[in-house]
Structure 1
C-alpha cells in the first residue's frame, strides 16, 4: 500500500507542465527526408546566371530577409522556397537587364540550429537536411550522464515558447531550432 502511495506521489511530481508530444510533423519515417525548405536569415545561396559570370556567385539572406543581387538589387527570400526565389530573380533579370535569362539557385549553407543543456558541447551547429535529434545530440558530442533521455524541449525559430517532445530516433530538427536537453531527477 505504501509502495503504491509512493509511486503515485512520484508520478504527480513529474507531471508538471505540458504533456510531451509524441507524434506530428516533427516525427518522420526513415525514408521521409524531402523537405519543403523555406529560406531564412542566415541561409547562404549559390545563384548561377547562365552565361553571366559577373552575376553568378554566393549570396546570404540578410537580416531584412532579402538577398542583394547585382543589377536588380534586393529580392525577397524570407519564408520562400528556393524555386520561388529563383523564379522571381530570373523574371527581374529578364525585365530590361538580360535577354531570356536562365537562373538557378541552391542553398549551400543552412542557418544553424542550437543545442543547450545536458550535452557535452552545447552551442551553435550547422544544419544538414534530414537532421534528427540523435544526429543533433551526436553533433554536440553526446549526452552528459545527467541528461533526461526521455523528453526534450524544442523552440522553433520565431516561436514564443518551447514545446516538449518525447525522444525518438525520428524526431526532426529544423534550421533555427533551439533544442534543450533537460536534466533527469534520478
Structure 2
C-alpha cells in the first residue's frame, strides 16, 4: 500500500513538472544595454499613462502638461484631440507644429518632454504586488525590490516579463540579467517554486 502511494505521488509530481516545463514561455528578447536610457527615450512610443510637458515658445496659454488618455490622445488647446499613442516625442512635436502653423500661430516653435512615464507592474510572489511609478534607469532587481522583494515561495532564479503591447510572457534568467533595464508599462511576474 505504501509503495503504491509512493508511486502515485511520484507520478503526480512528474506530471506537474512536465506541465510546468511545457508551459514555460520562450526566452526573452535581448535586453536593453545598461546606460542606454537616452536611446530608449528617443525611440520610446507614447501610450496611455504617459504625461508630457509641451512648450510652445512665446505662447504661454498653449504650453503645459498633458496626460495621454486611455484612448491614446491628448487634448491640446486650439487644435483639439490629437492621437499620440504609438508616436515618439519628435512625432508629437512635429504634429503640433504643423497643426498650429495651419492658421493659429505664425512659425510655432514646439518642444515636448516627458514628465512621467506610464507605470510598470510587479505581480506574483512578491510582498506587495501592484503598479509602481517608473524611474529612468530602473533595473529588474530594483523593480522587484520596489514591490517589497520576494516572498518565501518565490522562484528566485527567473521571472516572466510581458512587454508593453505584447500578449506573450518571456522568461528572463534573473541571475544573468538582474541589471536588465525595465521599460515603462512592462509586467513582471515572479513565479512560485514547487519545493
Pairwise same-fold verdict (TM > 0.5): yes
For normalisation by structure 2, the TM-score amounts to: 0.82
Answer with 1 or 2: which has the greater Rg.
2
Q: Which runs of 5+ in 1 are unaligned?
A: 1-5
Given the alignment, which residue of 64, 70, 80 partners 1:63? 70
After superposition, the C-alpha distances for 1:67-125 in whole angstroms (9 at most, x for unaligned) are: 11000112221001011101110111111001111111111011111111111111100
Decide which structure has greater helix share: 2
1:3 aligns with none
For normalisation by structure 1, the TM-score amounts to: 0.85
After superposition, the C-alpha distances for 1:139-166 in whole angstroms (9 at most, x for unaligned) are: 1121112211111111223322322221
Alignment partners' CA distance in 2, 1:153 and 1:31: 23
Q: Which runs of 5+ in 2 are unaligned?
A: 1-9
1:125 pairs with 2:129: no
After superposition, the C-alpha distances for 1:123-144 in whole angstroms (9 at most, x for unaligned) are: 1001122322112111112111
Number of aligned residues: 177
RMSD between superposed Cα atoms in Å: 2.1
